[in-house]
Chains A and B, each alone.
Chain A
């Protein structure tokens, strides 16, 4: 394993974009950008989507399913699958207690998508709340369990992690690339600096033991605080 960032597959040069609509050029030979499809972004104000994507303001998974043609349609009439979308990653809220992996697999298959990401991730919720979510089986453990089910079904996983522990768990599951998530940006530059420093430390620690691309998620409100972490990452993830 290398101690230097992964250099191949345009990883260092290309960004992984999170977008509400399919990007026309994503995954094409001419333009190999990849995207995380997150249709809920259209439902939420841009400046607060890192928070709101985890609050009862919109149906995050429902927006994705609707954009892909709807669960009912995929279940009732097995239409010929769409053309494969190699550059498109479906962003899923894995802790949705009503999510049925079997149905989602059928929908993704019909839509020609073979990659998913745990985005938005429940890892962003911290403190005692995180513990309570876990004890109700709506927390991080459920997120990883659902991701593992998708991985076993043959889907490629882009794993978002807010901590080193979460990153290690995602590597165990077999994530094909890892995205360090610094959490929602604070208005306070000191809090952003602490979050950026933690992301940087995570990247440093993971680098020697990680053979998959290590990316860094850069929420809009982060600025130069993330520069050191950016330099360590194989690529960035940002909102389109």
Chain B
């Protein structure tokens, strides 16, 4: 492998993997070398990479077992063995001998002590199981003619790797941010780039032949990688979660969704499904959750009767559209009449019953549908009168659950209310009781996050730019509470699509769009609790170290400058 030539845009890419299928795919994609790591195996088993540090097995035996069976001799690029030096019963010499004997092309120090800090790390170092042991293993590997790839996080660790004459040094920024199992981050992309630039500058001055790599933390896509590598003049990048977990999450989600949608289309051949599909189209309902299917079935059944309906839910869920959809779905030939009770100029009672100057009200129009929006604004007296009217209609033989082929003599009444109004008893009990049979409650979007991807995809189809959303983007969409329901989601998708210059809308665009759509401090904002958590963490670390910044920075494993920046960001400098 060659150092990156000045000005060259070609970077070396290493795949940190744990299963044969991923290894072969990474090589087909152009990976220059592979690192066989236990973390890669745990990822495909459904755990976070971080499980690599837990006492779930002997890391060396575990990694060696799958690497020999699934990776070695199956790929055309060098495979380096992820060797752990934590086991005091296995000397670094043994690890190097074993790697050579098995046929690995090289060694890397993973899982590593670099992932620990605080008192636990101190104890590791005291026990002789820390980074010096890893650097020694890599030095021995190099002497034995193996390729060496050294993971490090701090300047001190980098210096030890340089001293060990390691072939490739990888500055690790922590566990990856992206995907469903993202972990908390210490660095932004800008901070990572700045840190790598300064550290690699030092490495190049003392070991000009050493290849410099970056990995992890905020780098979750090729743009991030190139920005960091370009600013730091790094020779390459190593991807783990970014090469397997995140793309796998995205592709499996999308393919499953496609198969699921295909099944739904096939089902549409049946009469019932055709009715549901028609109801969804007319009512403008998008989604694939059980909630949505249940609502569609309710509407379809309700449309076949003359039963009065009550549709409730939070604003932004399409209650009005659903209420109006009952009219064409029921096949009524009379007019669709809408009364907005919140309109101060409306005379609800006269409009509905034809009192006063009106000769006939909405309710007496044959085969019509009378929709009352903001029904909670109707006076109690009018509500009581509506209840009486419904009772009379029921006794006249209408309002049964049987379909009525003959035109109805009067209107079907459909009330639209907010869920909050119903909860506080805004409808008089008599009316509420009369409407129970035809009541449809639309759950808010936060209670059916499985509909969010379908709504987002539908919006993108409406926009018609052929864009898609990345797995990270979906993660953010799924994590958001959507207090503004569908309009807020539409607004976020519109904004993110506008901001995205590529075909795939990434988490950065989604995050920015959610930030714009959500007022600061508003419930449902994902950023707020994270920020609070980080601040609390910082304050806790400062307290533990008696507000000595040097000690706190060391305790947290970050530079004094980063600590200072974080303190400034959280208003802790005053």
Question: Which A residues form the contact surface with B (CB < 8 A)?
Answer: 40, 45, 48, 50-62, 93, 95-98, 120, 124-133, 135-138, 183-188, 191
Contacts and interface: CB of A to CB of B under 8 A. Distances in A.
Interface in B33-60: 38, 42, 45-59
Contact of A127 (B51, B121, B174): B121
Interface in B92-118: 111, 115-118
Contact of B56 (A56, A132, A133): A56
Contacts of A54: 54-55, 120
B335 interface: no
Given A48-B129, A53-B55, A136-B175, A128 B88 contact: no
Interface of B: 38, 42, 45-59, 62, 84, 86-89, 111, 115-124, 126-127, 129, 174-175, 181-184, 186, 537, 555-558
Contacts of B47: 97-98, 138
Contacts of A125: 116, 118, 120
Nearest to B57: A59
A55 B181 contact: no
B24 to A, nearest CB: 26
21 contacts: A51-B124, A51-B127, A52-B55, A56-B62, A56-B86, A57-B55, A96-B54, A97-B51, A97-B54, A97-B56, A125-B118, A128-B117, A128-B186, A128-B558, A129-B116, A131-B184, A132-B174, A138-B50, A186-B122, A187-B126, A188-B126
A58 B120 CA distance: 18
B88 A136 contact: no
A240 B83 CA distance: 32
Contacts, number: 138
Of A40, A61, A129, chain B has the most CB atoms within 10 Å of the CB of: A129
A186 B119 CA distance: 9
A95 B56 CA distance: 10
Contact of B54 (A48, A135, A138): A138
A135 B184 contact: yes
A181 to B, nearest CB: 12
Contacts of B123: 50-51, 183-186
Contacts of B557: 127-128
Contacts of B174: 132
A49 to B, nearest CB: 11
A188 to B, nearest CB: 8
A80 B42 CA distance: 35
A136 B48 contact: yes
A163 to B, nearest CB: 11
A96 B55 CA distance: 8
A56 B59 CA distance: 5
A128 B84 contact: no
A97 B47 CA distance: 6
Contact of A59 (B58, B87, B116): B58
Of B48, B53, B54, B129, chain A has the most CB atoms within 10 Å of the CB of: B54
Contacts of A120: 55
A164 B416 CA distance: 53
Given A129-B115, A132-B175, A132-B184, A56 B57 contact: yes
Of A45, A53, A127, A136, chain B has the most CB atoms within 10 Å of the CB of: A127
Given A45-B89, A128-B556, A131-B184, A95 B54 contact: yes
A118 B441 CA distance: 44
Of A54, A128, A133, chain B has the most CB atoms within 10 Å of the CB of: A128
Contacts of A126: 118-120
Contacts of B38: 56
9 A-B pairs closest in CB distance: A127-B118, A56-B59, A135-B184, A126-B118, A127-B117, A136-B48, A97-B47, A60-B55, A55-B86
Contact of B118 (A48, A62, A129, A186): A129
A186 B184 contact: no
A125 B24 CA distance: 36
A192 to B, nearest CB: 11
Given A48-B127, A51-B123, A98-B45, A57 B86 contact: yes
A56 B111 contact: yes
B89 A56 contact: no
Contacts of A59: 55-58
Contacts of A45: 88-89
Contacts of A129: 115-118, 120-121
B157 to A, nearest CB: 15
